[in-house]
Amino acid sequence: MDHSLAEDGYSPGSIYQELEMDSPYVDTHDDISKSADVVQLHSHTFYEILFCRGGSLEYLLGTERYHIQHGDVVFVPPGISHCPLFLEKLVDPYTRDVIWISPLFAKQMGDLFPGTEILTAQPFLLRTAGTQWEGVLGQLFRAGVRESYARAPGWEAAVYGNTMRLLVQLTRVRANDKTLTPPTVKQELLDRILFYVESEMAQKITLAETARRFLVSESTINQLFRKRMNVSFYHYVTQRRLIAAKSLLLSAVPAEQICTMVGFGDYSTFYRAFKQEYGISPAEYRRLQEGTSRDN
């Protein structure tokens, strides 16, 4: 998709994260976040793979928190909520190489190599620093970024082929070296509440009931989420529900049914929350995604 939501007359908000792939197959670039940046919880309709080149920070991947560092690979499938945490505590900038892979690319891989799971539906994190894989994977990530920026003749094919090599290498690494999966950080109250929200998303979730369940005060939970997630507890619950709704909007399920499936009391509440968070309505989002699929 080679245009912005602003060009279509929309106020993008954080919806840009869903719609900014330029290539129908693979985009690759490098990126940097500094201590002043704020990245909200979000998801994509495409696969995202990150190679951390600098910085040390916590990262929320689904409901699991990890401490990521130089040499880590983060794999995020479509629809999985994620975000870096505590950017204000960064000592060094968080720098990474980024690959975005479209569902069309994934389908082609499945058609060409049936029975081979090149792209998994499960998120994962690999720790390669100090291993034989660090240089191999780091070079492949960097090669794609250089091709993308240089744009020499045939660069799109080079990026496509380089991405296939990288995915095969990641598949082999995961199959042959289980020691590269780092442990999650020690569970805290935040993690238990995140899991609770995930498992009870379709039900009514209130701050009062959550506080009673975890034997803490309502203010403790709200302060925890504002400090650690940069949003209130209710805003986090809404963000998580909207992320689930976005994935369902890619299917044929009616929006009126989706809103109850993810825990909204009625469609008007869902509509207002969606438009406030993303700047467009659920119907507009669905049409944009359908248009993107046709263009690709």
For the domain spanning 189-295, the CATH number is 1.10.10.60
Report the distance separating Cα 72 and Cα 53, nearest Å. 8
Q: Tens digit of pLDDT for each residue in 139-185?
A: 999 999 999 999 999 999 999 999 999 999 999 898 887 778 888 88
To 5 degrees, how large is the angle CA 278–CA 207–CA 193?
Answer: 80
Buried b (16+ CB within 10 A) or exposed e, 172-198: ebbeeeeebeeeeeeeeebbebbebbe
Range list of H helices, the chain: 16-19, 103-112, 132-150, 155-176, 189-199, 207-214, 218-228, 233-249, 255-261, 267-278, 282-295
Q: Tens digit of pLDDT for each residue in 257-273?
A: 999 999 999 999 999 99
Q: What percent of the chain has pLDDT over 90?
A: 64
pLDDT value of position 12: 44
Mean pLDDT of the chain: 88
The architecture (CATH level 2) of 6-180 comes to Sandwich (2.60)
End-to-end CA distance of the chain: 8
Report the distance separating Cα 162 and Cα 165, nearest Å. 5
- Residue ranges of domains in the chain: 6-180, 189-295
- Answer yes or no: are the C-beta atoms of 125 and 68 closer than 8 Å: yes
- Answer yes or no: are the C-beta atoms of 202 and 261 closer than 8 Å: yes
Predicted model pTM: 0.86
Conformational region of residue 89, where left means phi above 0, alpha means psi within -120 to 50, and beta covers everything else: alpha
Handedness of CA 205, 185, 98, 169 (dihedral sign): negative
Indicate the SS3 state at residue 197: helix
- Answer yes or no: are the C-beta atoms of 133 and 173 closer than 8 Å: yes
List, in order, residues 6 or more apart from 236 with CB less than 8 Å away.
41, 197, 225, 229
Q: Tens digit of pLDDT for each residue in 9-28?
A: 444 445 445 556 889 999 99
pLDDT value of position 186: 86
Conformational region of residue 19, where left means phi above 0, alpha means psi within -120 to 50, and beta covers everything else: alpha
Q: Tens digit of pLDDT for each residue in 200-221?
A: 999 999 999 999 999 999 999 9
Report the distance separating Cα 234 and Cα 206, nearest Å. 8
- Answer yes or no: are the C-beta atoms of 279 and 12 closer than 8 Å: yes
